[in-house]
A and B are shown apart, each in its own frame.
Chain A
């Protein structure tokens, strides 16, 4: 079974440009999460989709970030315009839906974003 995949693995852009990150969750996983790790800090939650709906977007830093999940499958995270402080590693994770048992969040390898 394929794991969570993310594209690109690394992106280098200039301040003010736009970047779109993509995440393909494990097939059948209704829950999809975006996290971010800024250098020297902990991994921080950005938002959580259940299928195509945003369940929790409390971690989104500002309105320059836009996340979508078309048809409840893959998700994109767009940063427009990018700022220097957006540099970091963006992780995507997915998990099955369930209320009675623990559902592991499986993480992708991350996209390393560098804003110059």
Chain B
């Protein structure tokens, strides 16, 4: 069983829709929870990170962590065609995020104009 599970998609939504992306995990030692966005032929780029449980909002993006359920989510409001990319969840057991990341497989998102 993988430490981090993520639905690979693809997920297609119309422009302006609210997108919900999710990951589940099994390792209770994870402390940092990251969402990376990766465009084709590029490296992953950090969108948001959350420490422990709770919500974090940044513009159109909201990250949620529920450690009791071992479940994390990323919500994208008012989705745009430029949001079309692969979204990767990643997790770390490090107190400062400097240990290795454990990634999900990534969800391919396509926002249709």
Task: Give the A interface residue count (CB, 8 A).
Answer: 29
B45 within 8 A of A: yes
Task: Give the B interface residue count (CB, 8 A).
Answer: 27
* A45–B4 CA distance with the chains assembled, in angstroms: 13
* A47–B45 CA distance with the chains assembled, in angstroms: 20
23 contacts between A and B (CB under 8 A): A42-B4, A42-B6, A42-B103, A42-B106, A43-B44, A43-B90, A43-B101, A43-B103, A45-B100, A45-B102, A56-B99, A91-B43, A95-B98, A98-B98, A101-B96, A102-B32, A102-B49, A102-B51, A103-B96, A103-B98, A104-B49, A105-B46, A107-B44
16 further contact pairs, Cβ within 8 A, besides A97-B98, A98-B98, A104-B49: A41-B105, A42-B4, A42-B106, A43-B88, A43-B90, A43-B103, A45-B101, A56-B100, A100-B96, A103-B97, A103-B98, A104-B46, A105-B101, A107-B44, A107-B45, A108-B43
